[in-house]
Chains A and B, each alone.
Chain A
């Protein structure tokens, strides 16, 4: 497709993907002879059940415009300033599409998502929002909603953002930073950053000797500094230094909370957007991560970090909202300690005694999730909390972000049942050297530490609280 063919005098074209060879032709049309990211995107759409693709011409994409104005417009080869956007729908094209006397409407179709295509032969895939496959959708925790308008019809797609690097203006590290920033924008209202903003935020003083554009790559420290400068200061975990923690324990806390985790590996970086527990009869469970790999495609399963194609993983970089000071593992250590001490004193309560014994024997584990306190309060009833206890919780003043440390029955968790038996709430902005727990609940008791008066308040829970759904299952999802 040359420069002139890129802008036909048509608003769009519809492709019946269920016709033999249509999907292959779609990838070939844009990336002739290349088995690359676009082919993987089209294959993913087909797996989602796509029967129709609508190619929207002359789509002005904010991200590509920034690449074009800062880079492509400066080259001798001419590049259009507009993109194509492919929308994927489940089901075949409606019959009225083939009639000239009826104007086809895009209302009421099953929308799967879109992919923006750059007018750059070697780097077609731009901003992409495509649903995960149904068997993975419960495990992709970093999904956000995007509103899409297609010729006046409004749709919403819930997905983890994706973009392929163009290997010139942006490489994997820029793309990982963009993806994370775009996700935080959609989900938490962080600022909207385009690739040019990411490139401009790369600090030269961090020691990178290469030219900023075309970029040959970024140093790990430059990537961390980019996140800092773009309003998502990251926590950085050197994997070799983790001691009592592991890649899984660190990453899962943030993924539970809906925060993508950037992995810096051997000369490549990618973004983890979810995980699932895979059970093996004799060897117990193991974690499979789900990643957005800008050189491969969306929702790629990572069988094992230790044998991954990008092995060894070197660092985990977790960009976070500014007001989330406390690392997850610190919150978990403090919250779990409070719950243990509380249970140890409640020897008269049979349920508390049993829970204490189960924690000591490993039948009950701790799970940590950072969540907006408003969302935590809103979802208490949906998680199964009795109305009276929920009311007491809701009237407590809390910071914007809290860490919820849950005591989780492993057996119930593995059976997919409500599994939370107790919890502790940590103020995410709390002092590092005066560790406190804001609220904690154990069988028979809800306690609150009032930071203004330095008093501890008790509320006796007379009603039996059943195991609750985890906060990550309910409050972590957008509603």
Chain B
């Protein structure tokens, strides 16, 4: 058998091995969450009372962090 034929057969065998579809080679790791747009999810609709309460709370927090930037520079620790 000629060398050329041997090479051709080898290539053919390799090609056969490569025909596996990707889904058989790759296993996606999924979660079981079912996704939706937030506007379709109960509890995501605007709630003016709750929104303004949380806004006020966060503003207070931001305020004392801002004050900490500028005050009490002269406290002395020894």
Contacts and interface: CB of A to CB of B under 8 A. Distances in A.
Contacts of A453: 35
A252 interface: no
B78 A244 contact: no
A6 interface: no
Contact of A314 (B61, B63, B72): B72
Given A243-B60, A333-B61, A264 B77 contact: yes
Contacts of B29: 395
A459 interface: yes
B67 interface: yes
Count class of interface residues, chain A: 35 or more
Interface stretch (B2-10, B15-23, B36-44): B36-44
A207 B73 CA distance: 8
B16 to A, nearest CB: 36
Interface stretch (A133-141, A179-187, A339-347): A339-347
Interface string A425-442: 000000010010000000
A11 interface: no
Nearest to A341: B43
Interface in A437-477: 446-450, 453-459
B26 to A, nearest CB: 16
A46 interface: no
Given A243-B60, A314-B72, A314-B75, A458 B54 contact: no
A342 to B, nearest CB: 5
Contact of A330 (B32, B37, B61, B76): B61
A206 B34 CA distance: 54
B77 A242 contact: no
Contacts of A395: 29-31
A334 interface: yes
A218 interface: yes
Nearest to B68: A236
A237 B37 CA distance: 38
Nearest to B47: A341
Interface stretch (A219-227, A297-305, A410-418): A219-227
B54 to A, nearest CB: 5
A29 to B, nearest CB: 29
A235 B64 contact: no
A244 B34 contact: no
A438 to B, nearest CB: 12
Interface in A166-197: 171-173
Given A243-B60, A333-B58, A459-B31, A327 B65 contact: yes
Contacts of B32: 392, 459
Nearest to B37: A455
B68 A315 contact: yes
A337 to B, nearest CB: 5
A243 to B, nearest CB: 5
Given A217-B78, A333-B58, A243 B73 contact: no
A395 B72 CA distance: 46
Contacts of A216: 78
B60 A315 contact: no
A455 B47 contact: no
A370 to B, nearest CB: 16
Given A267-B78, A395-B31, A449 B38 contact: yes
Contacts of A32: none
Nearest to A242: B64
A392 B32 CA distance: 7
A334 B57 CA distance: 10
A392 B41 contact: no
A458 B33 contact: yes
Interface of B: 29-38, 41-44, 47, 50, 53-54, 57-58, 60-65, 67-69, 71-78
Given A218-B77, A457-B34, 6 more contacts: A171-B77, A219-B77, A236-B69, A454-B37, A456-B37, A457-B35
18 contacts: A206-B73, A218-B76, A218-B77, A238-B68, A242-B64, A267-B78, A327-B61, A327-B65, A337-B50, A345-B43, A435-B58, A454-B37, A455-B36, A455-B37, A456-B38, A456-B41, A457-B36, A459-B33
For the complex of A and B, list the 4 residue pairs with the smallest distance between their C-beta atoms, beginning with the closest: A457-B33, A217-B78, A220-B75, A236-B68
